[in-house]
Amino acid sequence: MRGDITIGAGTVVHPKAAIFALGGPIIIGNNCILEEGTILVNRRKEIMKVGNDNLFEIHCRVEAPYIGDFNTISTKARVHHTVRLSNHCVVGAGCLVTPTEDEVMPDYTVLYGPGCERQTWSGRGKLQEQDLRRKHGEYLREMLPKFNRIRRTDE
C-alpha cells in the first residue's frame, strides 16, 4: 500500500493485493473483498471512491475513479481510468475496459467476452448474490488470519 488510503470496516484485503494512491487518495467502502494479486491504482488528483460490498477477483487491475456498490471485477479483468462503474455491474474474466472518453456504466451492466460486449442484467437473483458475497467475506475474515503470519523486519 502506498499513499493516502482509507479502508472501510469489514473489508478484506489479501496480503498479496496492492493499492497505490499515486495521484490522489483512495477510499474503499465497507465489506469489499480484494483477492490475491488485485491492483487498485489512482493516478488522478481526484479521490478514487470504491463503494461497499465490491468483489475484486484474482489478478484484476482497476484504475476507475468511481466504483459504486455490489460490483464484481472478475479474474484478470482490467478497468481503465476513463470508466466509472455504477451499482451491480460485472466486468467478466479477462475483459479489458478502455473507452477513449470518460464513460459511466449504468446500473446492472455486464461486460463479457474478448470484445468486451455489453448486456443489461435484470437483477434477478440479486439478494442471493449479496448473501453469498457476505458469507464469502465472513469466511475470509475468519480464515486469512489463521494462515497469514505478519513478519516484523525490525527484530
| pLDDT at residue 152 in the model | 46
Helix residue ranges per DSSP H, 30-125: none
pLDDT of residue 107: 95
Number of structural domains (the chain) is: 1
The predicted model scores a pTM of 0.88
- Which amino acid makes up residue 5? I
In a domain, 14, yes or no: yes
Assess contact for 137 and 12: CB atoms under 8 A.
yes
Q: What is the mean pLDDT of residues 39-58?
A: 95
Q: How confident is the model at residue 149 (pLDDT cuts 50, 70, 90)?
A: low
The set of residues, in sequence order, having a beta carbon less than 8 Å from that of 93 and lying 6+ positions away, is 57, 74, 75, 76, 77
Q: Check residue 110 and give its pLDDT.
A: 94
Query: Each residue of 84-124: pLDDT tens digit?
Result: 999 999 999 999 998 888 999 999 999 998 888 999 998 88
**Amino acid at position 149, single letter:** R
Which residue range(s) make up the domain with 111? 5-147
CATH number of the domain encompassing residue 36: 2.160.10.10
What's the chain's average pLDDT?
90
152 within some domain? no
Report if residue 154 sits inside a domain. no
